[in-house]
Amino acid sequence: LAIAVWFGYRGYLETRVNTPYNGEKAFTASGLDVPDRYWGTYRSGVYFGLKTRDPYSLVTGLMWYFPRFLRHDGTGFRHWCEQGDELDRYAWLEHDGRTFGVQEIVDNPVVIRTTFVKKPGGYHGGDWTARIAVSSKKERIGEEMSLLFYTAFEEGTKGWIKANLGDYNRLTGIEGNTQGLGSFIINVNLINGTIEEHSFLATVTSGLNVLKETVFQSLRVATQKGSMEKHVVLAGEQLPLLPEGKKQDPNLVVTQVTGKIPFEIEVSYESGSFSSRMDKLTGNNYDETLKKHRELFSKKFENVFKLKSKGYTDDEVAFAKMAFSNLIGSIGYFYGTSQVQSIYTQGPVPYWKAPLYTAVPSRSFFPRGFLWDEGFHGLLISAWDMEIELDIISHWFDLMNVEGWIPREMILGQEAVAKVPEEFITQFNTNANPPTFFLTLDFLLQHKEQDLLKYNFQLLDKLYPRLQKWFSWFNTTQVGELSSTYRWRGRDEKTTRELNPKTLTSGLDDYPRASHPSVAERHVDLRCWIAFAARVMTRIAETLNYPSMKYQKTSQYLSDNNLLNKLHWSPNAQAYSDYGLHTDKVVLRKIAPPPSRKQQSNVQIASEMKRIVLENPSLKFVDTTFGYVSLFPFVLQIVEPDSPQLGKILQDLRDPDLLWTKYGLRSLAKTSPLYMKYNTEHDAPYWRGPIWINLNYLTVRAAYHYSNVTGPYQESAKRLYQELRKNLIQNIIMQYRKTGYLWEQYDSTEGKGKGSHPFTGWTSLVVLLMAEIY
Ligand code: 6A9
């Protein structure tokens, strides 16, 4: 019996990591229950494509190439947003998250404008029409270009699609029927310019992850009848045979239109159940409808952000619309299973299959959901459309397991998985990520309390047990040795390669912490996150009329400035700091491989960089690393308005030898020994100098707060507020003008954009800075 009990218990521990939280689901409506958000540009990682919020959706998308630049290895063929494509720029210029969008893609001087408009009707999410217009400056007028528009099935989609062929085997449209959509037709028409060639492909692809490859392999060179001209064309029907000799059904149908620039095509999707359609959403009707939506959008944009009335120029307003639209326009709908692991599982195990509706940090480099990024995205999205944001929050909270853990990175579906190197896929249930959804919830309560309670009381009420569970997960699994201290898990104490072992869980990756990870560590940022979370929990509990005492006590305890100072104020450095087993005397050095290995192999083994510790570490404040981490008691507004610590922080913030630059605050002080240091031979400094916009936004917000409460430092908070805000806005706009992109970070010596781009995740918070909404 004892053995049986033991094995039962083991099994129980093993399965906790992938057992869903056992309360009621937070999201109430999905799929066709929300008809007006059924269709959308929910494929964050493609230049253009629509799909539905159905786990098994029909997907549509765009590919293109210039025959003159197409290479055998596939270069020149565009589909997924890739930095390697080196486009001049691309972004949604206008997008409301619901009904329409206008995007411009610039592929060296050729401009591809993709717009779409949706039209409600019937029982399956209605109709939509998209336009793809190609134009260019003089030098490329008349040049050939091929646009490919496709329709495909996501893994598991039930139904059929087929190519409708007209004269000369020309594809006139696509027809189909799926479980989620019922019957539909899609027409592709030229509306401006001349078509040189028209071809199609109907085939079976093994998955969305290889669409480009499937299409690329079926390109042929053909000579047109009666002319010598050669064209790259699609191979027509390419259907493998089933064992019984019948053709397999296609799950991918592509139309290729080769035209001479400029030209424009129109793709119209019509839902079979939309029987009362008065007029088609095509031609002039499309132009007019789009115009109407654009006007409404501009009005709402001014209503919400008031940038014109604040004196911004038309150009600056257009910039802000782009930054906002590309965030909301790259919201994705993903479905699949993540890989998760706990100490009780042998290796990674699959999480339950689940959907995720979420914005993404970057369409090119990370087109998937990230937990703490999403709390920042939520600020801007909430300001625009509370319902969309609540839907996003609910989806994330439904990914919580029975322990109260939500994985940090969500890699769901074939396309998402294809973009992530194997070693980054598995998520560990010991690991946290800052609970930034409390920022979003706090923001909602502050700016939208009435609407929230009027229309979404029930949702908030349903969310509440999950919030409690999540809070308590943080407050139990992330605690430190001493009471009221906290420690990020997930640092590698055994590594010999990292100059300072990373803390990915904190979101600040390589930001230097104690040189030797140990249980004695205490992290000031995490402590502040939990203090902040407790404060917001108090507020939510009060709003919903639940007992709030427990949270209030925790909040007060963790916000007690005396205790905070005792645990985290370094008297030496006069700054808030982590505490732990630390020495600054570490270096990376090239180490020759041991002679034994050299002899065994005739291949030369390269010498490798290793960390050398030149002094024994000791327990102390990690106070030579002034930077974002030191600012947390300030940015999360835990420091008392009259505390001398506040005075010191405000003073330090203005010091150009530390964090201050004309472009925003750098992440780590110039004086820190690890400033701009590589973490390994290959890991360039990330949070060790560059300027990041999420933390800058929080700093501006805190400066705004302290400039509005009475205290001795009110004036200096105000000065900081004004200048920091101005610097950030100026530089982000200037870099956009210069490079065409919003960036993941900005370099602290010249303000140049760095890292992945476009990055319209938290960098798009520049819109809230412009609008002064905090
Ligand atoms: C690596 C490479 C095609 C790192 O914005 C998302 C996160 C932030 O949450 C975090 O704070 N970024 C920041 O430090 C990007 C993380 C990307 C990891 C994936 C795989 C894929 O190559």
| Atom from ligand 1 closest to the CA of residue 759 | 5
Q: Which residues contact 54 (CB under 8 A, 6 or more apart)?
A: 31, 32, 38, 180
Number of H helices, E strands in the chain: 17, 34
Distance 363 CA to ligand 1 centre (A): 12
Give, for 234, the enclosing helix (H) or strand (E).
strand 230-234
E-strand stretches of 362-441: 369-370, 409-410, 427-428
Among the listed residues 767, 756, 765, the one whose alpha carbon sits nearest the alpha carbon of residue 362: 756
The reply to whether ligand 1 has any atom less than 6 angstroms from the CB of 66 is: no
Q: Which residues contact 171 (CB under 8 A, 6 or more apart)?
A: 163, 164, 165, 188, 198, 199, 200, 253, 255
Among the listed residues 153, 173, 154, 170, the one whose alpha carbon sits nearest the alpha carbon of residue 162: 173
E-strand stretches of 626-735: 660-661, 664-665
Q: How many CA atoms lie within 13 A of 444 on its CB side?
A: 31
- CA angle 641–704–369, rounded 5-degree value: 110
The C-alpha atoms of residue 409 and residue 373 are separated, in whole angstroms, by: 10
The reply to whether ligand 1 has any atom less than 6 angstroms from the CB of 675 is: no
The reply to whether ligand 1 has any atom less than 6 angstroms from the CB of 743 is: no
The C-alpha atoms of residue 183 and residue 185 are separated, in whole angstroms, by: 7
pLDDT value at residue 600: 57
pLDDT value at residue 423: 86
The reply to whether ligand 1 has any atom less than 6 angstroms from the CB of 373 is: yes
State CA 44 to chain mean position distance. 9
Question: Considering only CA atoms, which residue is closest to atom 13 of ligand 1?
Answer: 507
Distance 424 CA to ligand 1 centre (A): 10
The reply to whether ligand 1 has any atom less than 6 angstroms from the CB of 83 is: no
Question: Considering only CA atoms, which residue is closest to atom 8 of ligand 1?
Answer: 507
The C-alpha atoms of residue 528 and residue 562 are separated, in whole angstroms, by: 14
The CA–CA distances, whole Å, from 318 to 170, 301, 302 equal 41, 10, 11
| Atom from ligand 1 closest to the CA of residue 361 | 5
Distance 733 CA to ligand 1 centre (A): 23
| Whether the Cβ atoms of residue 367 and residue 419 lie closer than 8 Å to each other | yes
3-class secondary-structure state, position 212: helix
The CA–CA distances, whole Å, from 175 to 24, 129, 148, 249, 730 equal 39, 15, 17, 13, 50
In tens, the pLDDT along 610-668 reads 999 999 999 999 999 999 999 999 999 999 999 999 999 999 999 999 999 999 999 99
The reply to whether ligand 1 has any atom less than 6 angstroms from the CB of 84 is: no
| Atom from ligand 1 closest to the CA of residue 686 | 14
Q: Read off the amino acid at residue 459.
A: L
- Measured over the CA atoms of residue 318, residue 323, residue 326 and residue 332, the dihedral's sign is negative
Among the listed residues 301, 550, 557, 539, the one whose alpha carbon sits nearest the alpha carbon of residue 439: 539
- Measured over the CA atoms of residue 417, residue 423, residue 424 and residue 428, the dihedral's sign is positive
The reply to whether ligand 1 has any atom less than 6 angstroms from the CB of 370 is: yes
Tell which one of 338, 370, 525 to mutate to probe ligand 1, the residue whose CB is within 8 A of the most ligand atoms. 370
Distance 617 CA to ligand 1 centre (A): 30
| Atom from ligand 1 closest to the CA of residue 687 | 14
Give, for 556, the enclosing helix (H) or strand (E).
helix 549-559
Distance 370 CA to ligand 1 centre (A): 8
Q: Which residues contact 533 (CB under 8 A, 6 or more apart)?
A: 435, 438, 471, 474
| Atom from ligand 1 closest to the CA of residue 371 | 9
Among the listed residues 62, 77, 105, 11, the one whose alpha carbon sits nearest the alpha carbon of residue 257: 62
The reply to whether ligand 1 has any atom less than 6 angstroms from the CB of 509 is: yes
Enumerate the H helices of 276-370 as residue ranges: 283-305, 314-329
The reply to whether ligand 1 has any atom less than 6 angstroms from the CB of 628 is: no
Task: List the structure tokens of 697.
Answer: 């936004």
The reply to whether ligand 1 has any atom less than 6 angstroms from the CB of 361 is: yes
Distance 4 CA to ligand 1 centre (A): 43
The reply to whether ligand 1 has any atom less than 6 angstroms from the CB of 80 is: no
Distance 111 CA to ligand 1 centre (A): 30
The reply to whether ligand 1 has any atom less than 6 angstroms from the CB of 424 is: yes
Distance 333 CA to ligand 1 centre (A): 19
| Atom from ligand 1 closest to the CA of residue 362 | 5
3-class secondary-structure state, position 57: coil
Q: Which residues contact 648 (CB under 8 A, 6 or more apart)?
A: 574, 575
> For 632, phi and psi rounded to 5 degrees?
-55, -40
Angle between helices 644-653 and 693-707 (to 10 degrees): 130
The CA–CA distances, whole Å, from 689 to 481, 676, 681, 684, 744 equal 30, 6, 18, 11, 13
Distance 366 CA to ligand 1 centre (A): 7
Distance 339 CA to ligand 1 centre (A): 17
The reply to whether ligand 1 has any atom less than 6 angstroms from the CB of 772 is: no
Among the listed residues 97, 750, 124, 68, the one whose alpha carbon sits nearest the alpha carbon of residue 385: 97
Task: Please list the residues that pair with 105 across neighbouring strands.
Answer: 90, 112
| Atom from ligand 1 closest to the CA of residue 419 | 3
The reply to whether ligand 1 has any atom less than 6 angstroms from the CB of 419 is: yes
Write out the catalytic residue numbers.
509, 744
The C-alpha atoms of residue 714 and residue 421 are separated, in whole angstroms, by: 48
- Measured over the CA atoms of residue 409, residue 412, residue 417 and residue 422, the dihedral's sign is positive
> If DSSP states are collapsed to H, E and C, what string results for 250-296?
CCEEEEEEEEECCEEEEEEEEECCCCCCCCCCCHHHHHHHHHHHHHH
Distance 604 CA to ligand 1 centre (A): 33
Tell which one of 366, 420, 694 to mutate to probe ligand 1, the residue whose CB is within 8 A of the most ligand atoms. 366
| Atom from ligand 1 closest to the CA of residue 756 | 15
Distance 365 CA to ligand 1 centre (A): 8
Angle between helices 371-384 and 437-477 (to 10 degrees): 150
pLDDT value at residue 685: 98
Among the listed residues 504, 369, 484, the one whose alpha carbon sits nearest the alpha carbon of residue 433: 504
The reply to whether ligand 1 has any atom less than 6 angstroms from the CB of 184 is: no
Question: Considering only CA atoms, which residue is closest to atom 15 of ligand 1?
Answer: 366
3-class secondary-structure state, position 71: coil
The C-alpha atoms of residue 750 and residue 302 are separated, in whole angstroms, by: 32
ipTM: 0.95
- CA angle 424–428–429, rounded 5-degree value: 155
| Atom from ligand 1 closest to the CA of residue 744 | 5
The C-alpha atoms of residue 27 and residue 18 are separated, in whole angstroms, by: 19
Task: Please list the residues that pair with 160 across neighbouring strands.
Answer: 177
The reply to whether ligand 1 has any atom less than 6 angstroms from the CB of 372 is: yes
Question: Considering only CA atoms, which residue is closest to atom 16 of ligand 1?
Answer: 366
Q: Which residues contact 546 (CB under 8 A, 6 or more apart)?
A: 464
- Which residues of the chain, if any, have pLDDT below 70? 594-606
The C-alpha atoms of residue 380 and residue 317 are separated, in whole angstroms, by: 15
The reply to whether ligand 1 has any atom less than 6 angstroms from the CB of 366 is: yes
| Burial annotation 170-179 (CB, 10 A radius, 16+ → b, else e) | ebbbbbbebe
| Atom from ligand 1 closest to the CA of residue 504 | 14
| Whether the Cβ atoms of residue 398 and residue 359 lie closer than 8 Å to each other | no
Among the listed residues 408, 552, 393, the one whose alpha carbon sits nearest the alpha carbon of residue 463: 393
Q: Which residues contact 605 (CB under 8 A, 6 or more apart)?
A: 593, 597, 598
The C-alpha atoms of residue 578 and residue 508 are separated, in whole angstroms, by: 14
E-strand stretches of 537-614: 569-570, 575-576, 578-582, 586-591, 608-613
3-class secondary-structure state, position 578: strand
| Burial annotation 131-167 (CB, 10 A radius, 16+ → b, else e) | bbbbbbeeebeeebbbbbbbbbbbeebebebbbeeee
Question: Considering only CA atoms, which residue is closest to atom 20 of ligand 1?
Answer: 420
The reply to whether ligand 1 has any atom less than 6 angstroms from the CB of 421 is: yes
The C-alpha atoms of residue 16 and residue 24 are separated, in whole angstroms, by: 18
The reply to whether ligand 1 has any atom less than 6 angstroms from the CB of 250 is: no
Distance 242 CA to ligand 1 centre (A): 43
pLDDT value at residue 229: 83
Task: List the structure tokens of 144.
Answer: 């050939």
Residue positions counted in the chain: 774
